[in-house]
């Protein structure tokens, strides 16, 4: 049963991803990207990475997609603007997707097929293990990333502020 759900969610992610790329209307494209993000979150949860699934929903399907919809509504695109677009970005996108497919196939070819379900550790992907790893082995990069994010926030506030 779990495998059927996995394949259904993966198929939904692929279909909505393709619709995102080939949709004519920008609003429908963004809505299909939301479906793709929720499908990827479901895949994370099915793969026992609950923390990543919840972060996927909160950050990408929540915050990033609200930002995309806000920008789309601000730009107020109409059908007259669609006819002036060039085909070069579409070809570049298809070429990049082809390169990604070649990379995935190369990684799949090098995959070791001798992994059994009994060998998988069920505690992988839990928040407790992620926190232990972040604050023990990777504490310096974690703190440097937080300082970098803080500097970016302060810089954005200073740039956005009219009068100092």
For residue range 46-85, what is the model confidence (pLDDT) as tens digits? 888 888 888 888 888 888 888 887 777 777 666 665 566 6
Domain residue spans in the chain? 1-78, 126-163
Q: What is the pLDDT of residue 41?
A: 92
Please check whether residue 21 is in contact with residue 93, taking contact to mean a CB–CB distance below 8 angstroms: yes
Say what the pLDDT of residue 36 is: 92
* Block residue for tokens 């009219």: 162
Given this structure, which CATH class describes domain 1-78? mainly alpha
- Residue 138: the pLDDT is 87
Instruction: Categorize the per-residue pLDDT at 131 as very low, low, confident or very high, splitting at 50, 70 and 90.
Output: confident
pLDDT of 125: 59
**Of 42, 60, 58, which Cα lies nearest the Cα of 50?**
42
Whole-Å CA distances, 155 to 134, 158, 162: 26, 5, 13
Residue 159 has pLDDT above 80, yes or no: no
pLDDT of 8 above 90: yes
Average pLDDT over residues 110-128: 62
Residue-level pLDDT at 123: 60
Residue 157 has pLDDT above 60, yes or no: yes
Residue with more model confidence, 74 or 17: 17
Owner of token pair 């990777």: 138
pLDDT confidence tier of residue 43, bands split at 50, 70 and 90: very high
Question: Residue 22 and residue 32: Cα distance in Å, rounded?
Answer: 11
Give the per-residue pLDDT at 13: 93
Residue bearing the bigger pLDDT, 12 or 110: 12
Q: Above 80 in pLDDT, residue 122?
A: no
């Amino acid at each position: 049963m779990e495998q059927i759900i996995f394949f259904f969610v993966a198929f939904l992610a692929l279909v909505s991803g393709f619709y995102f790329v080939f949709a004519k209307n920008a609003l429908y494209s963004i809505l299909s990207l939301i479906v793709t993000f929720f499908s990827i979150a479901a895949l994370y949860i099915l793969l026992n990475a609950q923390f990543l699934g919840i972060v996927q929903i909160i950050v990408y399907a929540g915050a990033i997609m609200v930002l995309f919809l806000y920008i789309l509504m601000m730009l107020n695109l109409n059908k007259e603007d669609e006819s002036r677009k060039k085909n070069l970005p579409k070809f570049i996108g298809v070429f990049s997707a082809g390169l990604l497919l070649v990379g995935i196939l190369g990684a799949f070819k090098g995959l070791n097929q001798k992994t059994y379900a009994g060998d998988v550790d069920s505690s992988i992907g839990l928040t407790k293990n992620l926190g232990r790893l972040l604050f023990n082995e990777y504490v310096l990069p974690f703190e440097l990333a937080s300082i970098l994010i803080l500097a970016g926030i302060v810089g954005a506030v200073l740039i956005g502020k009219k009068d100092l």
